Structure 1
Amino acid sequence: MESKEHVIDLPKRVYIGNDVILNVREYLTSLNLSDPFLIVTGPIVRKSAASKLLESIGDFKHEVIEVQSADIEEVNRVGEFAKQFKANTIIGIGGGSVIDVAKYVAFRIDKEFISIPTAPSHDGITSPFASIKGLGKPISVKAKGPLSIIADIQVLSSAPRRLINAGVGDTLGKFIAVRDWKLSSKITGEYYGDYTASLALLSAKHALSCTKLLNKDIRAGVRVLVEALISSGVAMGMAGSTRPASGSEHLFAHAIEMLYPGKGLHGELVAIGTILMAYVHGINWRKIKRAMKRVGLPTKAKEIGIPDEGVIKALTIAHSIRPERYTILGDRGLSWSSAEKIAKETGVIS
């Protein structure tokens, strides 16, 4: 039995439903949070969802700051503003970049963080980790887990369909991440949590069901997706790492992001990585690919502007992105010929 201390950091309360953003003042009061509140958002969101939040928050002392990207310069700027304003709580309302900056600032200045996502594009809405550029690595870093998540389905289902699909893609990746985690536990002795892994796997199964629901009833599909994203984030909080939600499929995505910055959304790259790594793991990659096509996710690299040789290159270097994290790719990774075979067999390249 492992004796090392294991700390589980989970949200205290999740509010989910239509128009819940109109009740934010009530929620903040019930959570015993006091002003001043710093609201971190983006320029587009500020004109839409954030304006509803500002109406709801009423006369609570607050300030609004806009961020353009999730990089260390923005983190430093927002963090300095938060200190000068003497903010007690950081509220992030927006997409992935906004949420990442808000939670990382909250972590650095040790304040509570409230997550109000406006697009269900990845599981960062719940997880205590953030993707921040400029830290010298393409992987997630420790951040502040949300004290509460306020998920307004009406707002989330109004997000661009491509962002919704990306959330499906990111969540499908858990099929691979859990298998990589279990494999590592057998080979390296790494900690593996059965319950936590089951929760992440359940998220992936719900994402699979979303692909049948989204085209029929967008709100119902988005609700299922958001709950899957939340449970995936909770799994990371329980594990104390991104292990249950990020495996070789994410390593492939990170490799592409390094080779071709700005090409494809994160969830789209993870989805393509899921097809490839499902093939390597020997699981039903065709079923995953069919589900992706059904929802409108790209299944070929050229659909998002990645050349065939780029996919092969990414597959050969993916294992080196996080050498401390063992996956199906092993310590040496794939040879060029093996990578080419996998990419062609799955139809990711021609």
Structure 2
Amino acid sequence: MQLPREVFIGNNTLELIGDICKKLGFSKSALVVTGSHTKDVAGQKVMDLLADSGLEVDYVIVTSSTIDDLRTVKEKIKQMQPQIVLGVGGGTKIDVAKLSSSNENIPFISVPTTASHDGISSPLGAIKGFNKPFSVKAQAPMAIVADTGVIMHSPYHFIASGCGDIISKLTAVRDWRLAHNVNREYYGEYADSLALMSAQLLVKNAESIQPRAEEGIRILLEALISSGVAMSIAGSSRPGSGSEHLFSHALDLIAPEHALHGEQCGVGTILMARLHHINWKRIKETLQRVGAATTAEELGVKPEHV
């Protein structure tokens, strides 16, 4: 079981990145995986802070989470042999950093610039290949550094996506219980409870999310991190990903225009909640309170694709 050793959430936590690396025993070299936009948002600052702390720093820009992007970063790791890899950006950058570092047996630190899904803390990474997305077991981050000052200013649809990903735990855990009862699949009550608590935390605090209040963003980040930790404890994606995630993956394949993963999962949760005979109306109301999509039209998807 891999769990983060250090978690820092708050305003200006990026300033701590050099000290965090040194505390974890990384004082020589670091590779930053980021994007062209996220380099301007936070990546360059992270690199400057690491260099100021005496580390040799290099970086690589990725545009997506394809097998080619993964190969590019792996080659960079082989050339540089860094002590630590940092993923600075949204889900794509963090997934590529996570997978490439795991493949090369290098620890990794997650530095999210958005709160769009629970991949910021989970041991799984999404990769695109063979004309479809799929998840691969990689490694959990050794540390998570989430600067609320940066994330509060990210486009709101990323925050709404994170809310959709969190609310999906309400159906994911029920699918997991069903798989256990019908197929005798492994089931862990603690991981189930942790994932479910993440969703309940969002339902309880939905009003604080949309105004971009720092406390609301902190609660969302804590929920996302808890969900990822639940997957580490379970040893699979079961606590955080069920039929509502399959709905999202299907949209990615059949709908020419589709929304962010978490927003699609939110709509999928409404549909799957009806099949589970749980309060789908409350789920829809919660998503509306945080300003997330609740219909195909709001996703920008044609009804026939749903």
**Alignment counterpart, residue 149 of structure 1, candidates 124, 144, 152:** 144
Q: What is aligned with 2:122? A: 127
**Alignment counterpart, residue 27 of structure 2, candidates 28, 34, 39:** 34
Q: Which runs of 5+ in 1 are unaligned?
A: 1-7, 312-350
What SS does the corresponding residue of 1:48 show, helix, strand or coil? helix
Q: What is aligned with 1:79? A: 74
How far did residue 202 of structure 1 move?
A: 0.4
In structure 2, relative to structure 1, the CA distance for the partners of 1:265 and 1:19 (3 Å cut) is same
User: Distance in 1 between the 2:201 and 2:246 partners?
Assistant: 23
Q: What is aligned with 2:97? A: 102
Q: What is aligned with 2:224? A: 229
Given the alignment of the two structures, is residue 13 of structure 1 paired with residue 41 of structure 2, yes or no? no
Q: What is aligned with 1:275? A: 270
What SS does the corresponding residue of 1:115 show, helix, strand or coil? strand
Matches of residues 162-241 of structure 1 in structure 2 within 5 Å? 162-216=157-211, 218-241=213-236
Given the alignment of the two structures, is residue 309 of structure 1 paired with residue 304 of structure 2, yes or no? yes
**Which amino acid in structure 1 is aligned with residue 181 of structure 2?**
K
User: Distance in 2 between the 1:126 and 1:93 partners?
Assistant: 13
Taking only the aligned residue pairs, the percentage that are identical comes to 43
Residue correspondences, number: 304
**Which amino acid in structure 1 is aligned with residue 148 of structure 2?**
I
CA RMSD between the two structures: 1.2
User: Distance in 2 between the 1:154 and 1:183 partners?
Assistant: 40
Deviations 1:113-169 (A, max 9, x none): 000000000000000101100156533111121011111111111111110010000
How far did residue 209 of structure 1 move?
A: 2.6
Deviations 1:245-284 (A, max 9, x none): 0001101111111112551000110000000000110000
TM-score (norm 2): 0.96
Answer with 201-210 or 101-110: which moved more: 201-210
User: Distance in 1 between the 2:18 and 2:188 partners?
Assistant: 37
**Which amino acid in structure 1 is aligned with residue 219 of structure 2?**
V
What SS does the corresponding residue of 2:133 show, helix, strand or coil? coil
TM-score (norm 1): 0.85
Given the alignment of the two structures, is residue 296 of structure 1 paired with residue 288 of structure 2, yes or no? no
Q: Which runs of 5+ in 2 are unaligned?
A: none
Q: Is the 8 A contact 1:72 1:135 kept in 2?
A: no
Answer with 82-91 or 169-178: which moved more: 82-91
Q: State the structure with more CA Rg.
A: 1
How far did residue 294 of structure 1 move?
A: 1.5
**Which amino acid in structure 2 is aligned with residue 289 of structure 1?**
K
